[in-house]
Structure 1
Amino acid sequence: MIYRDYVTTGGTFAQVLLIAVLAVPALGAVAVALLPARIDRGARILATVFAAVTFVLTALLALPSVRGSGWAAFGVEQPRLLPWTDVNVSWVPALGVDFHLGVDAISYPLVVLTGLLTALCCAYTVWKVPEGGRGRTLAALLLVLEVGILGTFLALDLVLFFVFFEVVLLPMYAVIVGWGGPDRRRAARKFVLYTLFGSVLLLLGVFTVVVAAGTGDLMTLTGGAGLSRTVQYTAFALFAVAFAVKAPLWPLHTWLPAAHTEAPTVGSVILAGVLLKMGTYGLIRVGVGVAPLGAAWAAPVLGILAAAAIIIGSLVCLRQTDLKRLIAYSSVGHMGFVLLGIATLTVTGLQAALIGNVAHGIITGLLFFLAGAIKDRGHTGSLADLGGLRETAPRLAGLLGFAAIASLGLPGLAGFWGEAFAVVAATERGGPLWITLAALAAIGGALTAAYFLRLLRRVTHGPATPAVAGFAPISRPEWLAWSPLILLALAVGLVPALVLAATSDPVAALTGALP
């Protein structure tokens, strides 16, 4: 389904709101960075205020008065794929590049999740500055990361998408190097090298599409925009590998465990919660949307890789002895379920990927907050040294149990829907290959339960070890940072429509051009 001519939607207020979502954290980063070092805590408080305002702005993007209000004035029935509101301004006229931003039901949940996690991380830094100090700089970097991530989810021009996609690289490198663990430099270098490799491929894919189509507008390009089969095959192959690196998807995942293990708590939360979602979101919005023929051609390979990621990620987790490293490897399996949903190229599968993205961001963000709190108190992440947590810190042990059970996909919690829908979508796709992949994914789900139950047995049960003997109770700042994620894990699990509402039409439009 291709829309070549359309009007800018949403009305002036909505457009200002859309621009403010990016402008506020950008201004906040500048303001925080310019404050003198002597008022470091004041700078972190200021960063939290800017992040909180940004979160409120992201939530307001869904106001009923905003959605599609521009269409009625033109007497036009709103197409299924066009954004609720967008801003389209010529940016580089000589190259035909536009500063085109927009939000719809596909991007909105991730936009709000980014605003929430950044606000929680900034608030966390007010009381919990990682080793190395310089909390003002860390808070400013978190705001810069927010600009890049939000811009990626809001961009509706391929060149603009690429620019925002790259904005996050240096700030995340700086967060890992500046406040990470003892092996932080090697982990950060690996992160940069993998990401740069993916960036080169993404740039080649963008160049291939823009030259062939004569435009980078994603609304025009959706459905293939008359691109030849060869161009779509080539573009999708480039996009798929580039986004697989960022997600990261097996076998391009090896930078992830090191980055998570060495990153500070807030860095791990942002990395797992929303930065990884740039890859899977890009695969849906850009890969499937722009090159549907290429997506259909590559779907069986993507499905096989997804099943491999689920099984291998789970088996590796069963052997892990470090808390943060286990949670990091669990992301490989969870992202495998997201990829399986995308690979089916069905409405059910893409919706599974969308809710799986959000659920993983909520639950894994909470898991890394908890892992950081445990490591800060016990000065170790070794599972063997953290036994008996329920004896000395029962509330912390209870929250870890809740997050682990949510992550393993217990019905009624957020992690269930994405994994269940992905298996259902593969089954509905039919045929020996997809039925086999669905069975392997279901086995992977059982293995996920096994390694999380092993984690809880090793950490929360048994006699208390010396490392957990003097654990402090959960502080108010920690409750502040964790409570919204706990409530969201419950809310999304009980009411999945919070994420999936209004996604049927845009997802159907994305899949409408598939052969």
Structure 2
Amino acid sequence: MATSSLPWLTLSIFVPIVFGLLVLLIGRDDNPGPARVLSLIGSIAGFLVTLPLYTGFNPHTADMQFVENRPWIETFNLNYHLGIDGISVWFILLTSFITIIVVLAGWEVIKSRVAQYMAAFLILSGLMIGVFCALDGMLFYVFFEATLIPMYIIIGAWGGPNRVYAALKFFLYTLMGSLLTLIAYIYLWHESNGSFDVATWQHLKLNYSQQIFIFIALLAAFAVKVPMWPIHTWLPDAHVEAPTGGSIVLAAVMLKLGCYAFLRFLLPIAPDASHSLAGLMIVLSLIAIVYIGLVAIVQDDMKKLVAYSSVAHMGYVTLGFFLFNVTGMEGAIIQMLSHGFVSGAMFMCIGVMYDRLHTRRIDAYGGIINRMPKFVTFFVLFSMANAGLPGTSGFVGEFTVILGAVQFNFWVGLLAATALMWGAGYSLWMLKRVAYGPVANENVSGMKDINGREYLVLGLLAIMVLFLGIFPSFFTDLMHPSVNALMQHVAISKL
């Protein structure tokens, strides 16, 4: 394993957390300016310390890099064990980038308890990065569960009228699934003679019954987090009630925690069970793509529409995982990254409109291009990306998964490809009703175009959507060795 001269992973985790704690210390409700400035400095610093993970990364090996391993709780053989490969490095960079976006998005919008709001996102950023680089099972579990706390507070304190219900539903859904996963981790610890090392778990010789148990136990937590159909119902409520920043992080990063856990735990630890239950997982994924896409079309709330579209897009991710070919797997990972940028941008656009009109109902808008032409330019781009337009990141991920599905089974690929129509349907139907035509009412006629801060946020997201869409090899080249190693590992029967 490659090691690093500086503890870059520890810095990536704790720089935003420390800045979050400092923001809490200096924050004052009567003077929120210093808290905002320190939060921005902290988010930028958090992004800068993740950059060496890319610049110093060796793209020619599947070994873990930047490894840190030291004793944590020696009584139970727990270690502070961190490391990244060509898959996890991108999600750490995505997390630190989105944190900057969220701080800028809430700069003027959040009026009350500004320091607490900004600090919650900085601390959440560090915890999510911890999930992506933990190589000790219990350390992963601690980070994985700890992310619930800041997001619960964000939704419950700064959300909409039904924020308490949405926050509690979010918390209970994700926590209940995780309890069964904890049992699975303890079982793996026992089977590995007292080790929580993820690599050790991945090479255990488990029989078929043991693998089925592990698969179901891990799926209980990871499927909720994705979220997969039919345990997705917490997501629309959470998105509708969350503040704009909460929706951005929830869609862009938190949904990826469950997807990433499939790659790090479920598939490599229980490969035979994964193969035998692949048909079920593919069916559930296709239901999410087709059925939830149809549900999204009939929504009259913009946030709820985009929330349901997230469930459909995550269906492509889980579909790609269980095709068991490199094309489908890499397409799923690219779809995860793309969805992070596109969904974050869509929720930012909805937040921009909500800040002006204080409603998310589609029928309350109409003709905003007459008042906000700069904004609509971005809105069109992101809506097209959400629909999978070639040249945008939305196309690359879904198209690659479809290619992998055709390699697996032509009819599975055809059904997944046909479902792209629903993405175009709900994205363009919403765009038409909101942006085009004559000005629908006098409230719309008073809307002002985006300011410099909003322009910067939307511009950064637009750059990433186009860059990933035009140069996907920039991302895939780094993940090739890790994906190939994972596919080889999963292809080897442990029975």
Pairwise TM-score range, normalised by the shorter structure: over 0.9
State the match for 2:4 in structure 1.
11
Map 1:335-484 onto structure 2 (within 5 A).
335-430=314-409, 435-466=410-441, 467-484=443-460
Preserved contact between residue 45 and residue 123 of structure 1 (Cα < 8 Å): no
Match of residue 173, structure 2, among 194, 198, 208: 194
Q: Offset at 1:36? A: 4.3
State the match for 2:67 in structure 1.
86
Ranges of 4+ aligned residues in structure 1 off by more than 6 Å: none
Q: Offset at 1:262? A: 0.6
Q: Offset at 1:116? A: 0.4
What is the identity, as a one-letter code, of the residue corresponding to 1:216?
Answer: F
**In the aligned structure 1, how far is the partner of 2:106 from the partner of 2:358?**
19
What is the identity, as a one-letter code, of the residue corresponding to 1:46?
Answer: L
What is the identity, as a one-letter code, of the residue corresponding to 1:124?
Answer: A
Using the TM superposition, name which of 153-162 and 31-40 deviates more. 31-40
SS at match of 2:72: strand
Q: Offset at 1:39? A: 3.5
**In the aligned structure 2, how far is the partner of 1:54 from the partner of 1:87?**
18
Identical positions, percent: 34
Encode CA deviations 1:359-399: one digit per residue, 9 max, x unaligned.
00000001100000111111111111111111111121221
**In the aligned structure 2, how far is the partner of 1:11 from the partner of 1:403?**
38
**Residue 43 (1) aligns with residue 35 (2):** yes
State the match for 1:266 in structure 2.
245
Match of residue 156, structure 1, among 135, 147, 150: 135
Encode CA deviations 1:411-457: one digit per residue, 9 max, x unaligned.
11101111111111111123xxxx33222211211111111111111
**In the aligned structure 1, how far is the partner of 2:357 from the partner of 2:476?**
40
**In the aligned structure 2, how far is the partner of 1:201 from the partner of 1:39?**
45
**In the aligned structure 1, how far is the partner of 2:349 from the partner of 2:245?**
11
State the match for 1:73 in structure 2.
none
Q: Offset at 1:284? A: 1.3
Preserved contact between residue 51 and residue 119 of structure 1 (Cα < 8 Å): yes
Q: Offset at 1:55? A: 0.6
**In the aligned structure 1, how far is the partner of 2:64 from the partner of 2:400?**
25
Preserved contact between residue 248 and residue 276 of structure 1 (Cα < 8 Å): yes
Using the TM superposition, name which of 35-44 and 326-335 deviates more. 35-44
State the match for 1:283 in structure 2.
262
Q: Say if 1:461 and 1:123 are closer, same or farther in 2 by CA, change over 3 A.
A: closer
Map 1:93-112 onto structure 2 (within 5 A).
93-112=74-93
SS at match of 1:91: strand
The alignment yields a C-alpha RMSD, in angstroms, of 1.5
Encode CA deviations 1:298-329: one digit per residue, 9 max, x unaligned.
21111000000000111001101111110101
State the match for 1:125 in structure 2.
106
TM-score (norm 1): 0.92
Q: Offset at 1:199? A: 1.3
Q: Say if 1:395 and 1:340 are closer, same or farther in 2 by CA, change over 3 A.
A: same
State the match for 1:510 in structure 2.
486
**In the aligned structure 2, how far is the partner of 1:194 from the partner of 1:19?**
30
Encode CA deviations 1:173-201: one digit per residue, 9 max, x unaligned.
11011111111111111101101112112
**In the aligned structure 2, how far is the partner of 1:415 from the partner of 1:376?**
27
**In the aligned structure 1, how far is the partner of 2:150 from the partner of 2:378?**
30
SS at match of 2:115: helix
Encode CA deviations 1:246-301: one digit per residue, 9 max, x unaligned.
11111110000010011000010000010110011111111112221221122111
What is the identity, as a one-letter code, of the residue corresponding to 1:314?
Answer: G
**In the aligned structure 2, how far is the partner of 1:426 from the partner of 1:410?**
19
**In the aligned structure 2, how far is the partner of 1:333 from the partner of 1:34?**
41
**In the aligned structure 2, how far is the partner of 1:508 from the partner of 1:442?**
25
**In the aligned structure 1, how far is the partner of 2:20 from the partner of 2:421?**
43
Would you say how many aligned residue pairs link Structure 1 and Structure 2?
488
State the match for 2:197 in structure 1.
217
Preserved contact between residue 64 and residue 85 of structure 2 (Cα < 8 Å): yes
**In the aligned structure 2, how far is the partner of 1:126 from the partner of 1:460?**
25
TM-score (norm 2): 0.96
Encode CA deviations 1:463-510: one digit per residue, 9 max, x unaligned.
212232111121111122221110000000000022212222211211
Q: Offset at 1:459? A: 0.7
What is the identity, as a one-letter code, of the residue corresponding to 2:391?
Answer: G
In structure 1, stretches of 5+ residues that fail to align are 1-6, 69-77
What is the identity, as a one-letter code, of the residue corresponding to 2:451?
Answer: S
**In the aligned structure 1, how far is the partner of 2:145 from the partner of 2:130?**
10
Map 1:236-275 onto structure 2 (within 5 A).
236-275=215-254
**In the aligned structure 2, how far is the partner of 1:228 from the partner of 1:159?**
23
Preserved contact between residue 304 and residue 437 of structure 1 (Cα < 8 Å): no
Preserved contact between residue 373 and residue 449 of structure 2 (Cα < 8 Å): no
**In the aligned structure 2, how far is the partner of 1:158 from the partner of 1:228?**
20
**In the aligned structure 1, how far is the partner of 2:383 from the partner of 2:163?**
26
SS at match of 1:12: coil
Preserved contact between residue 8 and residue 66 of structure 2 (Cα < 8 Å): no
Using the TM superposition, name which of 143-152 and 290-299 deviates more. 290-299
Preserved contact between residue 389 and residue 461 of structure 1 (Cα < 8 Å): yes
In structure 2, stretches of 5+ residues that fail to align are none
Preserved contact between residue 82 and residue 219 of structure 1 (Cα < 8 Å): no
